[in-house]
Amino acid sequence: MSEQTARMSFISRMTVKSEKEAEFIRLAKALTEKVHAHEPDTLIYQFYRLREPHRFAVVESFTSEQAEHEHQNTEHFKALAPGLVDCLDGPYVREYLDPLEP
């Protein structure tokens, strides 16, 4: 696979404002449902609650860098992502995941 078509995977960790947790969970569930229904090139898209208070993560994996770009340009992402970001207490941290073997 070329770099342009190689699978792209990452985990993003974030802290959510305590008073915004319910809204964050509602939006995360709504976005996850839309991604699973409408984005066949999204292989994994799953939010998790971490074991520290108000901490969450999302694991995302796409068939390619282009698929991740397309995900960010869907109507559902554009509609729901700003609300998710508004719930955050500080920036999120994204860590890219590479396979053990090329």
Residue-level pLDDT, tens digit, the chain, 102 residues: 444 458 999 999 999 999 999 999 999 999 999 999 999 999 999 999 999 999 999 999 999 999 999 999 999 999 999 999 999 999 999 999 998 877
Q: Is residue 82 assigned to a domain? A: yes
Q: What is the pLDDT of residue 42?
A: 98
Q: What is the DSSP letter of 7?
A: -
- Helix residue ranges, H only, the chain: 21-38, 65-72, 75-86
Residue matched to tokens 């699973």? 36
Q: Is residue 76 assigned to a domain? A: yes
Q: Is residue 7 assigned to a domain? A: no
Q: How many domains does the chain have?
A: 1
Domain that holds residue 69: 40-102
- φ/ψ of 33, rounded to 5, equals -60, -45
Q: What is the pLDDT of residue 3?
A: 46
Q: Is residue 5 assigned to a domain? A: no
Q: Is residue 33 assigned to a domain? A: no
User: Which long-range CB contacts under 8 A does 42-47 form with residues at least 24 apart?
Assistant: 42/67, 42/71, 43/7, 43/9, 44/9
Q: Is residue 32 assigned to a domain? A: no
Short-list 38, 81, 44, 37, CA closest to 62: 44
Q: Is residue 23 assigned to a domain? A: no
Helix axes 75-86, 21-38, angle to 10 degrees: 160
pTM: 0.90
Q: Is residue 18 assigned to a domain? A: no
